[in-house]
């Protein structure tokens, strides 16, 4: 019984050890992207109609758009005879993934460009979506889904929940033209690392060559690895399927400390090290209290009836009190090889605020004791 239990424990430990070892590895599809295989941004201008009085009103842009749209149906009208109370001029945007074919659907986002207060209940009329080259790649139309709400009372008070001036149309655009990619026409596939690193690029090439054979992968620089792929399209798809599931362990990134000066957020990378140094942290507070003293005065004048007393100009005497409070300075020592957890524990131990932390890190860097790059965003 004890022997079986021992074997079971050893098996569990072996499985956990393998799982923990694999947890450090990432698939190539999570670390890289294929050059030329990307999403394409589409944009168009359209009109949303059917709004319950929350449209652009007398906006000249919307009235002109309505007049132009009505004229396409053989109707002639003056813009002065139109109203945009129930219509809104909008911009329509979408992202077209690679390899999308005509007839497939896209989600689109619709945003107001005029004075419309809400798009709730609106319908987007047929809107061409253009690419960066000015060509039409999709046509959008449909009812909007708006998550926001805006209500205005007669007295001018209003309540706005979320953003009622932006909506979405799920599967609201139909692809009319596909975007050509160099994927099928090239003999080589270029893998671009999301985070450029020479060590990671080298590990990627070695892992690919270990699976597919020597000289299949060649690192070109810190961000790009060239892969020799089959020429047959069907074989290339199978090859990429195997390629993107290869797992490697990325190299440890460069030590960085990221500081957001607006929010006070500080992110310290796990590779930050501090050489032997001593840091003293204290706080000095100066408080000035002003308590002016007012002394009344009187003017005495003599006349035939006697002495006449009149109020005089009061005398103001400044009374200032300056109080200086200084917290005891605290010091902590960084020994050789100090890591992130030790840095955080030591700085938190002295009660440093985010602003104090930035000052301490800057001082450590100037002293040459901080082995990291400080980036302020």
Distance CA(99)–CA(88), nearest Å, equals 33
The tens place of each residue's pLDDT in the chain, 377 residues long, gives: 445 434 443 443 344 444 444 446 889 999 999 988 889 999 999 999 999 888 888 778 888 888 888 888 887 777 777 788 889 999 999 999 988 999 999 999 999 998 888 898 899 999 999 999 999 999 999 999 988 666 665 555 566 667 889 999 999 999 999 988 888 778 889 999 998 899 999 999 999 999 988 989 999 999 999 999 888 877 888 888 999 999 999 888 888 888 877 777 778 777 777 777 666 666 545 455 656 777 777 776 666 666 666 777 777 776 656 555 555 555 556 666 566 566 666 666 666 666 777 777 777 778 777 778 888 87
Confidence (pTM): 0.67
Question: What span, in angstroms and rounded, lies between the C-alpha atoms of 207 and 205?
Answer: 5
pLDDT of residue 142: 94
For 271, how many CA atoms within 13 A lie in the half-sphere containing its CB? 9
SS3 105: strand
Structural domain spans, the chain: 40-175, 188-248, 257-286+326-376
Chain centroid to CA 375: how far? 16
Distance CA 218, CA 220 (A): 6
Sign of torsion, CA 63 65 69 74?
Answer: positive
3-state helix, strand and coil shares in percent for the chain, rounded to the nearest 5: 25, 40, 35
Provide DSSP, 188-216. Answer: EEEEEESS--HHHHHHHHHHHHHHH-TTS
Q: What is the pLDDT of residue 220?
A: 93
Strands 373-376 and 256-260: parallel
pLDDT computed for residue 5 by the predictor: 38
CA-nearest of 119, 124, 105, 118 to 170 is 105
């Amino acid at each position: 019984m004890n022997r079986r239990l021992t074997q079971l424990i050893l098996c569990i430990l072996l499985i956990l050890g393998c799982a923990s070892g694999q947890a450090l590895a990432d698939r190539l599809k999570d670390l890289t992207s294929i050059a030329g295989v990307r999403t394409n941004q589409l944009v168009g201008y359209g009109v949303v109609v059917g709004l319950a009085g929350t449209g652009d009103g007398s906006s000249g842009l919307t009235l002109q758009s309505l007049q132009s749209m009505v004229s396409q149906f053989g109707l002639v009208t003056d813009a002065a005879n139109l109203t945009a109370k129930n219509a809104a001029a909008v911009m329509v945007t979408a992202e077209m993934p690679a390899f999308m074919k005509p007839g497939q659907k896209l989600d689109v986002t619709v945003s107001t460009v005029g004075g419309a207060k809400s798009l709730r209940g609106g319908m987007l009329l047929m809107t061409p979506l253009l690419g960066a080259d000015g060509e039409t790649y999709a046509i959008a139309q449909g009812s909007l889904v708006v998550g926001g709400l805006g209500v205005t009372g007669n007295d001018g008070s209003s309540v706005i929940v979320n953003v009622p001036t932006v909506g979405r149309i799920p599967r609201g655009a139909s692809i009319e033209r596909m975007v050509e990619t160099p994927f099928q026409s090239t003999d080589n596939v270029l893998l671009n690392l999301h985070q450029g690193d020479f060590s990671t690029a080298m590990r990627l090439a070695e892992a690919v060559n270990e699976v597919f054979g020597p000289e299949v992968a060649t690192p070109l620089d810190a961000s790009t690895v060239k892969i020799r792929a089959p020429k047959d399209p069907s074989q290339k798809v199978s090859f990429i399927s195997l390629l993107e599931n290869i797992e490697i362990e990325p190299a440890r990134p460069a030590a960085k400390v990221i500081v957001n000066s607006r929010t006070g957020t500080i992110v310290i990378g796990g590779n930050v090290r501090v050489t032997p140094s001593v840091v003293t942290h204290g706080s000095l507070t100066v408080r000035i209290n002003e308590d002016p003293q007012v002394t009344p005065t009187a003017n005495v004048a003599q006349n035939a009836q006697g002495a006449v007393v009149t109020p005089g100009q009061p005398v103001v005497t400044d009374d200032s009190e300056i109080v200086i409070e200084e917290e005891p300075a605290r010091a902590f020592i960084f020994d050789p090889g100090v890591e992130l957890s030790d840095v955080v524990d030591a700085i938190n131990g002295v009660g440093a605020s985010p602003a104090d932390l930035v000052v301490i890190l800057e001082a450590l860097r100037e002293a040459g004791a901080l082995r990291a790059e400080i980036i302020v965003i």
